[in-house]
Amino acid sequence: MAPRSNPSERQRRLGAELRKLRNRAGLSGDQAAVILDADRARISNIEAGRIDVSRNRLYKLLREYGCPDGPYFDGLMEMAQGRGTGWWDEFRDVVAPIACDLAELEERSTALRTHDPLFVPGMLQTREYAHAVISESEPDPQRADRFVDFRLHRQRVLSVGSQVAYRAIIHEAALHAQIGGPQAMRKQLLRLIEVARLPNVTVQVFPFEAGAYSAYSRSFAIFGGVDTELDTVYLEHPIESVFLRDGELVDEYAKMFERLSSLALAPIDPESAPESHETRDSLSLIQHVMYSL
């Protein structure tokens, strides 16, 4: 089989992890090729994600590279087993490959952390809000509807019974933006309160008075793997979005998220009584904005 020209993020990540492990073991590409009884080009293609590696061959490489048993080992084996197919395939006619990579990554993640200084995160958007956002960049109504359907399908990872821990930090500015009009915004703010009732969801608001740190941090999402060494950062950009896999960079974004969380208001607790809000928290701020629309 000829090497693929456009590997998925999962395929690239598996290859990158194998290259990292090989380098840690102090082995050259030629030595790795001997382990698999293959040529050097095959190792290069595997590490670039351009060709797959069977589970048996991957197991052999991991053992020779000194990778110990545990979540990281199992996570790599699972990545090799994945075929990259899923519900997102039906949307490949309208969404870019990186969007399908994002959907696949969300399906495989154990935890999601997201920060957005401008919009309500896609995972929490209502149909009306999502349509208003997407229509700004997609004038074709039919394509816009398909994009919205894709975004709403992604939200299924937060459905009732999900084990994925989701934390969102949203800037207060996003609550005041008149996206889709007052009625659409009221529905969107109510949606934030409703989804926060899920036991695996935490929503915090970063208030204006907390300063400019949120704006400087920009928008980002952290996807937790079965092992922290498999965590991924996603940076969304209108021109070219990117996935970050470097451990040090991922750690920096994790620290940034915790800093944002410490500066943000207390999380939404929909079960608390109004009189219990002695100090302003995320719920009281959202309700204040919602009632003022």
Q: Is residue 272 part of a domain?
A: yes
Q: Is residue 2 part of a domain?
A: no
Question: Percent of the chain at pLDDT above 70?
Answer: 97
* Chain segment 146-187, per-residue pLDDT in tens: 999 999 999 999 987 788 999 999 999 999 999 999 999 999
* Chain segment 214-230, per-residue pLDDT in tens: 888 889 999 999 999 99
Residue 48 sits in the same domain as residue 118: no
- Per-position DSSP letters for the chain, written without gaps between them: -PPPSS--HHHHHHHHHHHHHHHHTT--HHHHHHHTT--HHHHHHHHTTSS---HHHHHHHHHHTTPPSSHHHHHHHHHHH----SGGGGGTTTS-HHHHHHHHHHHH-SEEEEEESSS--GGG--HHHHHHHHHTT---HHHHHHHHHHHHHHGGGGSTT---EEEEEEEHHHHH--SS-HHHHHHHHHHHHHHTTSTTEEEEEE-GGG-SHHHHH-SEEEEE-SSGGG-EEEE--SS--EEE--HHHHHHHHHHHHHHHHHSPPPP-TTS-GGG-SS--HHHHHHHHHHH-
Residue 217 sits in the same domain as residue 262: yes
Number of structural domains the chain divides into: 2
Residue 58 sits in the same domain as residue 31: yes
For residue 211, which phi and psi values (nearest 5 degrees)? Answer: 100, -165
Mean pLDDT (whole number) for 109-129: 96
Structural domain span for residue 55: 9-81
Residue 59 sits in the same domain as residue 101: no
Residue 164 sits in the same domain as residue 93: yes
Examine the pLDDT at 274 and tell me if it is beyond 70. Answer: no
Sequence-distant (6+) residues with CB within 8 A of 274 are: none
Residue 157 sits in the same domain as residue 271: yes
Tell me the pTM: 0.93
Q: Is residue 3 part of a domain?
A: no
- Per-position DSSP letters for 205-221, written without gaps between them: EE-GGG-SHHHHH-SEE
Q: Is residue 1 part of a domain?
A: no
Examine the pLDDT at 14 and tell me if it is beyond 90. Answer: yes
Q: Is residue 212 part of a domain?
A: yes
Residue 52 sits in the same domain as residue 161: no
Sequence-distant (6+) residues with CB within 8 A of 255 are: none
pLDDT of 128 reads 98
Q: Is residue 4 part of a domain?
A: no
Residue 72 sits in the same domain as residue 214: no
Q: Is residue 222 part of a domain?
A: yes
